[in-house]
Amino acid sequence: MLGRKTYTQDEVDRARSVLQEQLAASRDLVQAGGPESAAAREAFERSFFTNLTVLLDRFFVHRIRPVTGRDGNPLNEVELIVESVLEHGGVLQTNKVIKYVPADAVLGLEPGTPIRLSADDFDKLSAAFLAELEHRFVVADD
């Protein structure tokens, strides 16, 4: 598929719906365990939400740089996180294209930090990502 300059609101809404279903299912699972399973829940959560970030990116993987920009916006923060998960053993790496500034990022991860996202991290990151995607890519129907 070629790069995309636009997405429809339906595409964004469909992605949001799938992600909300996954969030609800994980919360149900976490609540079902007793206090003795806290360590297992935390390990599951860190892996699950890091992987869910890969899914978030995949919905809109063909977005193009002229629209996403080169700043450290949430679209590019997700791109760096996903690339780091897939290519760098889950340790945040930056690149020469994106001007990533941890203090301005949604999660504020420093380069070299292991990526292990919590439910709250994913909630913040996915909300910011989808809002930025709507702002930059969704063209209102006339």
How confident is the model over 71-107, as pLDDT tens digits?
999 999 999 999 999 999 999 999 999 999 999 999 9
Q: Is residue 53 part of a domain?
A: yes
Of the pLDDT bands very low, low, confident and very high (cuts 50, 70, 90), residue 36 is low
Q: pTM of this prediction?
A: 0.89
Number of independent structural domains in the chain: 1
The per-residue b/e assignment along 95-109, b for 16 or more CB within 10 angstroms, e otherwise, is eeebebeeeebbbeb
Query: 61 in helix, strand or coil?
Result: coil
Q: Is residue 2 part of a domain?
A: no
Q: Is residue 84 part of a domain?
A: yes
Q: Domain span at residue 96?
A: 9-137
C-alpha Rg value of the chain to the nearest Å: 16
Query: 112 in helix, strand or coil?
Result: coil
Amino acid of residue 61: V
Q: Is residue 4 part of a domain?
A: no
Q: Is residue 34 part of a domain?
A: yes
What would the mean pLDDT of 58-75 be, rounded to a whole number?
96
Q: What is the pLDDT of residues 96-105, one digit of tens each?
A: 999 999 999 9
Q: Is residue 142 part of a domain?
A: no
Q: Is residue 49 part of a domain?
A: yes
* DSSP code at position 19: H
Q: Is residue 3 part of a domain?
A: no
